[in-house]
A and B are shown apart, each in its own frame.
Chain A
Amino acid sequence: MTAGQPAALPPRSRLEERLRSLTLPRGITLWSILRVLAAAAATLLIFAILLQLLGSDFGTAFNAVTDSAFGNSFNFGQTLMMASILMCTGLAAAIPFRAQLWNVGGEGQMWFGAFVTIGIALNLPKGWPTALTIAVIVIGAMVAGAVWGLIPGIMKATVNANEVITSLMMTFIAIELGTWAIDGIWPQGASNETESVPVLMPNIWEGTLVTWGLPLAVIAVVVGWAIMNRTKLGFEIKAVGLNNRAAEMNGMSTAKVAIVTFALGGAFAGLAGSIFILGINSALPAGFQLNNFGYLGIAVALVARLNPVWIIPSAILFAGLRVGSDGLQASTGLSTTVGQILIGLFVILLLAFRLIRFSYPEAAR
C-alpha cells in the first residue's frame, strides 16, 4: 500500500459473504442442536417446578396447552391468527434489530395501529366495497404505526436519544390513548371495550376463524424478507448493524437507516394492530395489554435469529403457547399470562446458552 493513499476497502464480495453468514442460521451443528434442546429442557423443567408450586401438574398442563392450541382445526386456526399478529410484531423488532437499533416499542406501534384502525373504520362512509374499505383501513393503520415508530427513529437520528427509552415511552402513551378509546372516545355501552368496527376481514377457512389477516401477515413476512435480502436498503441495514462506523465510511447514512428501519418496523406493528381489530376481535378490549403481543414479537424475532423466514415457525410456536394458555386457564384456573413466563424463560435460556448473540464492534470494547 503506498503511503498517502486511503486504506483499501475490503472487496464487496467478502463483505457480502460475512453478511450472508449472519443471515443464515450459522452452523447448525450437533452441538448447537444439543444446546437448543438443553435450553428447551431447562425451560420446561423450571416451568414444571413452577406449575407444581401453583398446585397444577405438568402433564395436565401440557395436554391442555397442546389440545387447545393444535388439537383440532378450529383451535389451530386460532393459533394461526395469533401467529399472524406475532409475525408482524416480530418483523417490527427484527428489522431494526438487524441494524442494532433496539425498537422495543412494537407494542405501542401496534396499539396506535389498532387505535387508528378503529378511528378510520367507524368514520368511513358506508357503501364502499369491502376490499377497498379494508385496504384503506390497513394502509391507514400501517402509516399510523410508522409514524409512531418514526418519532423514536428521528430522535435517534437527530439527537442520538436512546431508542430503548423513547420507544418504550411511546408505548405507554399509545396504551393510554387506547385506554381512552375504550372508556372515552368510542366506548361500547356496558361492555369494557371500544365500539365494534362495522367492517371485518372475510373468513378464508371454513369451520375456523381464520381471516384475511393470516395471508396479509405472511405477505408482510415475504416483504420483510425481500427488503432485507434483495434490496440495497437491506444491505445497508445489515452493514450498519455489523459496524456503523465502517458503514458510515462506506457512504451509508446511519441516520437514514435509523429513521427508515423504525418507520418500517412501526408499519409492520401497525399492521398487527389492524389485523387484531379487523381480523380477530372487531374491538379493542380492556386488558389488551395483558397480551404483550408487541413485546412477545421481540421474543419471536430473537428466536428467529432476526431472519424474516424463521419468523413464521417462531410465531406459530409462541402463538400456540399463547392460545394454549387460554386452555390452561380453563383447565387449571391459572392466568393466561402464564405462557409469557414460558416464552421469556426460553429466550433468556437461549441467550444464556449463547444461541442468540450479537456482535459488538471491536472499537467499542
Chain B
Amino acid sequence: MSTSQTLFSLGIALMVPMLFAALGELIIEKSGVLNVGIEGVMLIGAFGAAVGVNYGDGSIWIGVLIAVGAGLVCGLILALLYVRLGTDQIVTGIMFNIVAFGLTTTLSAKYVHASESADFPKWNIPLVHDLPWVGNVLFEQDVLVYASVALAFGVFYLMRRTWFGLYARAASEFPRAAESAGLNVWRLRYVAVIVGCVLTAIGGAQLFANSGGFVAGYTNGRGFIALAIVVLARWNPLVVVLASLLFGVTQALQFEADRLGFLGDIPSHILMALPYILVLVAVVFARGSRYPAAVGIPFRPTRSST
C-alpha cells in the first residue's frame, strides 16, 4: 500500500470508536439528554473488552460481549441519574467520568496489567477490494468498520423514518408538548440513554482491539471528540460518518508522519494535539449548529408515571 493509502486505511480504523460513540450520543441527545459521561462509558467499554479478551481465551467476541454488558450497566445507572432523578447532566457526567477513570485504573492494575490483545477479523469484500486505490483503503477492513457504517445508515433510518425518531425529536425539542400528546418522555429517554451507552461501549471495545493492552485513561478524549462530532454533523448520522473519518485521519497522521515527508519535521506532540485543535476550529465553523431545545434540562412529568 502507498503511504496515502495507509493513512486513510488507518484513519478509517481509528474512526470507528468515535463513530460508535457519536452515533450513541446522537440518539441520546435527540431524546433530550446530554451525556457528558460518554468518555467514562467508552473507557469502561474498553476495559470490559480487555477483561473479556484476557479471561476469554483471547476471543474478541467475548470482549465485545463483556463491553456490551458493561455499557448496559452504565446506561442503566446514567438513565436512572439523568432521567429518573433529574440530576444535572453536565456535572453528573463529569463525576461519572472520574469514577470510571478511578475504577478502570484500579481494576486494570489488579487484573489486566499484562494485557493480551485481540483483533476483529478482517473481511476483504469480494470484487470491490480489487479496485485500484480505494479497494485497499475501503474494503479491506475489520468487520466492525463495515458494521459501524451500516449502523450510521440504521440510525439515520431510525431517527428520520420511524415513530421512535419522531417521538424522540419531540422529547428533545418540547417534552411538555410531547407529553400532552401522550408520549412517555421518561421511558423514551431511558431507552435512548441505554442504547446510546451500549453503542459507546462497543466503540470502546473497538478502541481496545485497535491498539491492544489497556492503560489508564485509555480513551484520551475520544469520547469528548464524539460529543463535538455530533454537534459538527448537526445531528445527521450520515454526516457523523464523515466527521468521524476526518478525526480518524487526523489521528492517523501521528502514526504516518514519518513517511509523509513534510509532516516528519513537526514535533509528534503537536500532531497528537491536532485532533483537539481541529475540534476547536470546527466548533467555530459550526456556529449555527444548535442543540435541541430541551437537551440538558431534566424533565418532570406533570402526572406521575413510571
| Tier of interface size on chain A | 35 or more
Stretch touching chain B among A134-142, A233-241, A288-296:
A288-296
Contact A159 B283 (CB under 8 A): yes
Contact A351 B94 (CB under 8 A): no
Known: A298-B91, A340-B101, A348-B81. A168 touches B287 (CB 8 A): no
Interface residues of A: mostly helix, strand, loop or mixed? Answer: helix
Known: A155-B284, A290-B217. A169 touches B102 (CB 8 A): no
A212-B101 Cα distance, complex, nearest whole Å: 31
**Chain B residues, Cβ within 8 Å of A358:** 88, 91
**Chain B residues, Cβ within 8 Å of A290:** 105, 216-217
Contact B98 A176 (CB under 8 A): no
Give A163-196 as 1s and 0s: 1 = Cβ < 8 Å from B's Cβ atoms.
0111011111100110110001000000000000
A148 CB to nearest B CB, Å: 12
Q: Is A216 an interface residue (CB 8 A)?
A: no
Known: A295-B94, A340-B102. A155 touches B280 (CB 8 A): yes
Contact B99 A177 (CB under 8 A): no
**Chain A residues, Cβ within 8 Å of B92:** 348, 351
User: Using a CB-CB cutoff of 8 Å, which residues 282-340 of chain A contact chain B?
Assistant: 289-290, 292, 295-296, 298-299, 302, 334-335, 337-340
Chain A: CB-nearest residue to B100: A344
CB < 8 Å A-B pair total: 149
Known: A161-B283, A344-B96. A104 touches B269 (CB 8 A): no
Q: Is B151 an interface residue (CB 8 A)?
A: no
Q: Is A151 an interface residue (CB 8 A)?
A: yes
A169-B107 Cα distance, complex, nearest whole Å: 27
User: Using a CB-CB cutoff of 8 Å, which residues 341-365 of chain A contact chain B?
Assistant: 341-345, 347-348, 351-352, 354, 356-358, 360, 364-365
A-B residue pairs in contact (CB < 8 Å), sample of 21 = A161-B283, A162-B231, A164-B36, A168-B221, A169-B276, A173-B273, A176-B269, A176-B276, A177-B273, A335-B109, A335-B110, A337-B101, A337-B105, A337-B106, A339-B102, A341-B106, A344-B96, A344-B102, A345-B99, A351-B85, A358-B91
Which residues of A line the B interface, CB within 8 A? 54, 102, 104, 151, 155, 159-162, 164-166, 168-173, 176-177, 179-180, 184, 289-290, 292, 295-296, 298-299, 302, 334-335, 337-345, 347-348, 351-352, 354, 356-358, 360, 364-365
**Further pairs besides A155-B284, A159-B287, A161-B283: 7, Cβ < 8 Å:** A172-B224, A290-B105, A298-B95, A340-B98, A343-B98, A348-B87, A348-B96
Q: Which 6 A-B pairs have the closest CB atoms?
A: A340-B102, A344-B99, A180-B269, A344-B98, A341-B102, A159-B287
